[in-house]
Amino acid sequence: MVVARNQDRTTVAPRIQFEAPGQLSEVDPDSIAANETYDGALVSGGDLSDRDLAGTTFTECELAGLTLTEAQFRGARFVDTLVSASFAPVLLAARSSWRRCRIETPRWGSAELFEANWNDVHILGGKIDFLNLRTSTLVNVLIENCTITELDLGGAQLDRVAFVNCRIDTLEAANARCNSVDLRTSEFARINGFDGLRGATIDDLQLSLFSSALADHVGIRVE
């Protein structure tokens, strides 16, 4: 179990209920097909680029070192699954469902995960150029030691979500709904849509860094 610890009693930390899958059977990546269900499978080192894998379900699996360029995971389900060292200049996983999963050191360019459902998800390390989670639902999510160029949370619902030691250049938060969202310890170069961060927690340094942008947002002139 991974627990993101907070320094006060008002922001509730995410609790990630994840255990690495064991007793796995190797499955040839070329055999993975859309709308199929895989239990206890180890899928490693393959290239799934441009494959239609919509509606596929992975339960207690490990997906290791896969190339996923423009593979179509629309509506796919990942349960109790570890995804490690995946590579995708473009990742297509809209409306996918992730429950009790860990994503380690992803190298993603444009990750289209809008309208997704994340519950008990831990992203550890890696670099993502554009993480599109618009109108997604995130509950008990920890994103740690990750570099994200642009994170789009527009219209998303977030409950017990923490960003720990991350570098995020641009955060889009318009119309998001936040409850116990912890932004402390992470760096943000730009935040758009401050209204969407109602219910989030920042520290004193972050407040001072964004004071000018916050003043502009509410129409306060500083002279």
**Residues 6 or more apart whose Cβ sits within 8 Å of residue 69:** 49, 50, 87, 88, 89, 90
pLDDT band at 206 (very low <50, low <70, confident <90, very high): confident
Reported as a single tens digit per residue, the pLDDT across 99-126 is 999 999 999 999 999 999 999 999 999 9
215/217 Cα distance (integer angstroms)? 5
Mean pLDDT for 166-174 is 97
- Average of per-residue pLDDT values in the chain: 92
Q: pLDDT digit string (tens) for 23-63?
A: 999 999 999 999 999 999 999 999 999 999 999 999 999 99
CA–centroid distance for 101 within its chain: 10
Of 72, 23, 69, 20, nearest in space to 46 by CA: 69
pLDDT on residue 9? 53
Average pLDDT over residues 183-204: 92
At residue 211, the pLDDT reads: 72
Q: What is the pLDDT of residue 2?
A: 43
Per-residue confidence at 7, pLDDT binned at 50, 70, 90? very low
pLDDT score recorded for residue 220: 66
Q: What domains does the chain contain, in order, with CATH numbers?
A: 12-218 (2.160.20.80)
